[in-house]
Amino acid sequence: MSEKSISMCEGKGSLSHNNREFTAKNIDSSRTPNNIVFVQQELGEAYHQLFDEAVEKYNARQKRKDRRIGDYFEHLFNRPPGKSFIVNANKQKCFYEHLVYIGTKKDSGIGTPDAEITKECLREYMEGFQERNPNFYVFNAVMHLDESTPHLHIDYIPVGHFKNGLEVRNAKNKALEEMNFGKDAKANNRWRLSEWDILKNICNAHGIEISEPKKSRGYSYTVEEYGEHQDRINALNAEIERLTAERDETVAEFEKLSKKKVNITEIESIEAKESMFGKKVTLTKEDYDKLSDTAKKYVAMEKNIKKLKKERDAAVQELGDMKQQFSAVSSELSAYKKKEEDKRFFSREKMNAEGQRMKREEQLSRDLQKAMAFISACGLADDFARYKFNKTRNTELE
């Protein structure tokens, strides 16, 4: 079995995509029944379960009505919960998605001998996720087996506890701190590496050898940059997948709307009567509502499709740029390693040469001491001193 890689990144999940409420082009619908659903709870219901009790206690302490919180989700995001990701003005996310792959479609894709083993590894990893991460409440989790490679979408709400104000909140940094990953900027990376080690051990137990991730330990900053580029490329691939899914979802929604009674063909059948006031026409209230509603939906749909296409093109462009940087960093890393090896080699040669020189100097010193002792024993020390003085003086005069 060949060595495989583990890919873990933060997805920007679409719950309707994860739960297969529509079929995208990269999905084999005949295999959709094989998908494994671990948890499937409405986002709004999860928020009520997690935060309603704390909100009630908080409101009971407030004497002013304007300080009380109604629905906690709407309090944070100014809209009801839906099927997609929401980020508020403070960059707070309504939930997070943990996207996990083992290997690639070449070595672990559906139909390959290793696909079944990687599926079991992912299942075992998922079944222990909630227990390992008590502050990450998993409300939706599914393993997709109807795409090219088995993979997990784990959607969770981070839960933090506080002494003042609202006692229980959506707070990822606090959740990481409570799970002993620290409270600095690297807490999330420590958590991710911990999860990486968990999955690696599971894979090893199933006979799958996992290649080490690129990281900075033992190397220079160039290698750290190398690893960061790899993580960024994985994230961009996930982003492209998300944008593609959202585009397909929008197209599917548009097709669904086109099949309803309120559609373009129905608009064409609306009868417009000339008004007695010049060139204006009159419509029935029902026909006007149909026309207005469909026009608004069509305009919104067109804008959304253009936006998604633009975002997808930008992500593809960024991925191409990052791959070029990744290639450059990889070449730089190889050159750096060769330079380090050469440096160590030349250092050994230099040390050997220096050792030989010191040996020669020690031997000359011993020979000089013997010569001085012989001169002194022969009573020639004074003559030698005068000789040295005259020799030095003659050299200076010359």
Per the prediction, the chain carries an average pLDDT of 80
Q: pTM (2 decimals)?
A: 0.58
pLDDT attached to residue 47: 97
pLDDT at 397 exceeding the cut of 60: no
Among 222-231, 297-306, 359-368, the least confident range: 222-231
Q: Which amino acid is at 312?
A: R
Nearest to 226 by CA among 112, 327, 101, 142: 327
**Could you give the percent of the chain with pLDDT greater than 90?**
37
pLDDT attached to residue 125: 97
Which residue would you say has higher pLDDT here, 258 or 72? Answer: 72
pLDDT attached to residue 220: 34
**CA atoms within a 13 Å half-sphere pointing along the CA-CB vector of 189:** 8
Rg (CA), the chain: 36
**Could you give the percent of the chain with pLDDT greater than 70?**
74
Distance CA 248, CA 251 (A): 5
Distance CA 257, CA 304 (A): 15
Distance CA 28, CA 145 (A): 9
pLDDT digits (tens, 9 = 90+) for 230-260: 555 656 666 666 666 666 666 666 666 655 5
Which residue do the tokens 């040996």 mark?
359
pLDDT attached to residue 398: 45
pLDDT attached to residue 300: 74
Among 2-11, 39-48, 255-264, the least confident range: 255-264
- How far apart, in Å, do the first and last CA atoms of the chain sit? 82
Which residue would you say has higher pLDDT here, 317 or 389? Answer: 317
Q: Give the pLDDT band of residue 282 (cuts 50, 70, 90).
A: low
Which residue would you say has higher pLDDT here, 354 or 253? Answer: 354
Distance CA 100, CA 21 (A): 21
The set of residues, in sequence order, having a beta carbon less than 8 Å from that of 283 and lying 6+ positions away, is 270, 272, 273, 291
